[in-house]
Amino acid sequence: MGERSRSRICALMAAGCDICAIGDAHYVKGDINLPPKARRAAKLELERIEREYADRDHLRLEIARYLQSIGRGVAMPIPD
């Protein structure tokens, strides 16, 4: 995984975003559980991060695998 992607993930987590992988192919940026005033400030920071790091969809698999490797993910059961 590239340093820029790692930096983005670290910035999101530092801003209070509960980012985690869902299986090996997807990830979600979870809710921020903060009081309304703090939530507004965090939302602005998350928007800034997204602008700075731009679209990362082409790195979705890489990001999901990295999140799993650092314990920030849930496994998806394989259907029978």
Q: What is the mean pLDDT of residues 6-21?
A: 90
Q: Is it the case that residue 80 has pLDDT exceeding 80?
A: no
Mean pLDDT for the stretch of residues 45-58: 86
DSSP notation for 35-65: -HHHHHHHHHHHHHHHHHH---GGGHHHHHH
Specify the pTM: 0.79
Q: Give the position of tokens 């801003």.
A: 15
pLDDT higher at 34 or 23: 23
**For residue 5, how many other CB atoms are within 10 A of its CB?**
15
Is the pLDDT at 55 greater than 80? The verdict is: no
Phi, psi of 79 (to 5 degrees): -65, 145
pLDDT band for position 64 (cuts 50, 70, 90): very high
Domains of the chain, by residue range, sit at 3-74
Q: Is 68 a residue whose pLDDT tops 90?
A: yes
Distance, C-alpha 58 to centroid of its chain: 14
